[in-house]
Amino acid sequence: MSLGEFDLIRHYFTRPSRDAGVVLGVGDDAAILAVPPGEQLLVSTDTLVGGRHFPDSTDPEAIGWKALAVNLSDLAAMGATPRWCVLALTVPTADMDFLASFAQGFHTLAQQAGIDLVGGDTARGPLSITITVMGTVPAGQALRRDGARAGDGIYVSGMTGDAGLGLALVDGTGPVLPNDLALQAWQRLDRPEPRLALGLALRGLASSAIDISDGLLQDLGHILERSDAGATLDVETLPFSPALRACNPGQALAWALAAGDDYELCFTVPPEREAEVPALAAQLGLALTRIGCVDTMPGLRCIRQGEPFAPPAAGFQHFRPTS
Ligand code: ADP
Ligand code: MG
């Protein structure tokens, strides 16, 4: 059986709204949303293109999860509460197996994150998913990239580099690892966990934050640029997962510093507040590791065992300058 466009939308993408701010959801020409008084609206969008942002072999359920996760990660980085999203979905055919799995992955995470799908667009063409997420914060409390100051500690959540390893395993260039470790890295690639609870907890504590989508060095570089600051990063302190620890150390370090798709948060904390970080990590059950310090000298310097260390190639860019 094949579904028409409207049946498809009704069947896979219409769910009752959970958020009281949804005055009108899917079904009209536009959604009507009410931002709570005293809050600001944060809006972000991200596109995932088949074969570009995920391997063509990716499980459709993981595609649905990840398409939303990468968007939620941007809200997490701003300290926003997720509220609403719209989904522009382009698929080659109305393949019901694909759509059912995709919708399953999408709605599972949407439910977990408490975000409502309030509209979208559905078209035929090469597989591409664009999601726009909307979140709210109490006015003036959003985390931004431009607040880092010399002396602030630099932290990273969870572990970085696993998604890079996962991608190498999927495309056959990765190391041979025990099954359970390979599976963990692969999961980190396919089902990133947006750090929403951390983002909320960092409001009023972190001086700046960003989510790591394009590699730690590159994304931390964005904080430094926006904050007009520099930093020194001690690569010895980077948190490695068991999977990464089982790899060649140089290769593991390259993934941890420069591979994309981890969706951890990198944030800075003023020195007088750093003592609060370990308690927060314990409360969230999430590693929060101090990896360096903001300073006044422009640029990002890496050190290893006290000596300058030249990092591997920078992170991911779709359009790399040709110099
Ligand atoms: P229009 O022609 O006015 O743009 P559409 O026919 O594209 O409207 O969509 C009908 C309704 O279904 C709209 O409310 C739209 O927001 C919603 N919608 C369309 N595609 C999706 C989707 N993939 N997910 C969620 N809602 C969707
Ligand atoms: Mg439309």
- The pLDDT tens digits for 46-80 are 999 999 999 888 999 999 999 999 999 999 999 99
88 - beta bridge partners?
A: 121, 130
pLDDT in tens, 266-288: 999 999 999 999 999 999 999 99
288 - beta bridge partners?
A: 157
Q: How far is CA 256 from the centre of its chain?
A: 15
CA distance linking residue 18 with residue 180, whole number of Å: 37
pTM of the model: 0.94
CA distance linking residue 106 with residue 13, whole number of Å: 9
* pLDDT for residue 322 is more than 80: no
pLDDT for res 5: 83
* pLDDT for residue 194 is more than 90: yes
Split at pLDDT 50, 70, 90, the class of 8 is: confident
Residues 136-173 as b or e (16 or more Cβ within 10 Å = b): bbeeeebbbbebbbebbbbbbbbbbbbbbbbbbbbeee
* pLDDT for residue 318 is more than 70: no
How far away, in angstroms, is 120 Cα from ligand 1 center?
A: 5
* pLDDT for residue 317 is more than 80: no
* pLDDT for residue 225 is more than 80: yes
Q: Are the CB atoms for 299 and 314 separated by under 8 Å? A: no
Pocket of ligand 1 (CB under 6 A): 9, 13, 26-29, 87, 89, 117, 119-122
Probe residue for ligand 1, chosen from 26, 87, 90, 106 as the CB with the greatest number of ligand atoms within 8 Å = 26
How far away, in angstroms, is 56 Cα from ligand 1 center?
A: 26
How far away, in angstroms, is 33 Cα from ligand 1 center?
A: 16
Ligand number nearest to the C-alpha of 90? 1
Residues 54-92 as b or e (16 or more Cβ within 10 Å = b): beeebebbbbbbbbbbbbbbbbbbbbbbbbbbbbbbbbe
Probe residue for ligand 1, chosen from 6, 8, 9 as the CB with the greatest number of ligand atoms within 8 Å = 9
Alpha-carbon torsion (281, 286, 291, 296), positive or negative: negative
Interior CA angle at 104 toward 99 and 107, to 5°?
115
Half-sphere exposure for 251 (CA within 13 Å, toward CB): 14
What is the position in ligand 1's atom list of the atom closest to the CA of 27? 14
Among protein residues, the one with the nearest Cα to ligand 1's atom 19 is 121
DSSP-derived letter for residue 189 is: H
Ligand number nearest to the C-alpha of 9? 1
The three-state secondary structure class of 225 is helix
How far away, in angstroms, is 31 Cα from ligand 1 center?
A: 10
Q: Are the CB atoms for 259 and 179 separated by under 8 Å? A: no
Paired tokens of 48? 């995932």
pLDDT in tens, 76-126: 999 999 999 999 999 999 999 999 999 999 999 999 999 999 999 999 999
CA distance linking residue 29 with residue 257, whole number of Å: 44
* pLDDT for residue 323 is more than 60: no
How far away, in angstroms, is 110 Cα from ligand 1 center?
A: 18
CA distance linking residue 39 with residue 113, whole number of Å: 19
How far away, in angstroms, is 66 Cα from ligand 1 center?
A: 21
